[in-house]
A and B are shown apart, each in its own frame.
Chain A
């Protein structure tokens, strides 16, 4: 049993901080994030035999956490989100400068997003997760994930970059064409990804 204990402790040490941060950005609450992290590990311990590829432990744990979170918000039905159609004109581009984003404002902006947009955004910024990983976790086609990411990032910019500071050119960024048009095939064919 010593090896089991050692394995569990190693699993915790390797992933609990990232999981907590993920949970925090999903829930917007430190207390909820802590509960969610503990529940995630509890569930993971019980299902440890399902983890066939140890190198995929992080993605597996994140997937468990997200499912728990979805279960919670489905029960509570409390989360309010803004439709991304509300994304207005982006701030006009100015000269490049170093941005310093207030974590509280970031969280506030994330909280306003629907989970379907928030999750890929958070996972994108963790940078350990590829588009394929995100797509697998969300059980979505990779093209859909990329489309959502693009829209969510645009929304984030409207919330975090004050008018008159850095930003994209107003022309066209928020005007998302339909999915087939917005994601040209070429980029996906080179990666062998399935586009739906």
Chain B
């Protein structure tokens, strides 16, 4: 190492660590060992560095600075708390608002029951059951008449029945002379319900008829469950529930 390089490195050498790298320091020390002038410069440089380092650290720190910084930290902490409170409040307000809107929508759209409408419908069932049946069929977009000429005056109810996992529209007619009923279930053939199992069936007091004529009744199949009553050998088994004079099977 030349004196010129040694002088440069002397200005970068530090008391702490060997940031110049072991190779450079080894070269430098080797040079200082053989060069009295640079060795003297090294001692002066060390002395100078120590003196400057001491002077750099010899700056009195204002006595109140720590307290002021602590106060600033407290103010910052207060700000953090306030922001958190604001944030929580904002979230709570948003939740309340959303709940309010949700409840409002729920209360606005929930079904409203009115007994006036109920008695009006009951009156219509008594006064004009045939129109009521037509309105009910139209509401469900079913063919505008039932598959048999049921006597509207025997109508008991129009509604739906939970049936083997499906809600099925059903019109119920009563027997004119005593216990007994005929239920007309209407199934849409839109694939939402598997109708492969629809077939004629009998039990001790009831029987099931299936009416499925796609040309006559488009988009639907009917299952009529009715109580069995004595009728003539050529009479329609549904005869008690049909209009007088319409007792011949239609299909």
- A residues lining the B interface (CB < 8 Å): 1, 4-5, 8-9, 12-13, 16-17, 20-21, 24-25, 30, 34, 37-38, 41-42, 45-46, 93, 96-103, 106, 122, 124-127, 130-132, 146, 149-150, 153-154, 156-157, 160-161, 166-169, 171-173, 182-184, 186-191
Contact = CB atoms under 8 A, between A and B. Distances in A.
B69 A99 contact: no
Interface string B43-66: 111011111111111110110011
A17 B65 CA distance: 9
B3 interface: yes
Contacts of B73: 5, 8-9, 12, 41, 45
A131 B61 contact: no
B57 A21 contact: yes
Contact of A20 (B5, B15, B49, B62): B62
Nearest to B23: A190
Contacts of A157: 48
Contacts of A24: 59
Interface of B: 3-5, 7-12, 14-17, 19-24, 27, 37, 40-41, 43-45, 47-59, 61-62, 65-66, 68-70, 72-74, 76-77, 80-81
A37 B69 contact: yes
21 contacts: A4-B77, A9-B70, A9-B73, A12-B70, A20-B65, A38-B69, A93-B37, A96-B40, A96-B43, A96-B47, A101-B51, A106-B55, A125-B56, A150-B11, A150-B12, A161-B48, A168-B10, A169-B7, A172-B4, A186-B24, A189-B21
A187 B52 contact: no
Given A45-B73, A166-B44, 9 more contacts: A8-B76, A34-B62, A34-B65, A93-B37, A103-B55, A106-B56, A125-B49, A149-B11, A168-B41
A101 to B, nearest CB: 4
A190 B17 CA distance: 14
A21 B47 CA distance: 22
A160 B47 CA distance: 13
Contact of A16 (B20, B23, B61, B77): B61
Given A20-B65, A150-B11, A25 B56 contact: yes
Contact of B76 (A42, A103, A172): A42
Contacts of A106: 52, 55-56
A149 B65 contact: no
Contacts of A190: 21-24
Nearest to A30: B62
Nearest to A25: B56
Contact of A173 (B7, B15, B69): B7
Nearest to B14: A127
A168 B11 CA distance: 10
A25 B58 CA distance: 11
A5 B74 contact: yes
B7 A188 contact: no
A187 B77 contact: no
Nearest to B27: A186
A160 B20 CA distance: 25
Contacts of A100: 51
A126 B22 CA distance: 22
A42 to B, nearest CB: 6
A93 B44 contact: yes
Given A97-B47, A101-B55, A182 B15 contact: no
Given A96-B40, A182-B8, A46 B76 contact: yes
B190 to A, nearest CB: 58
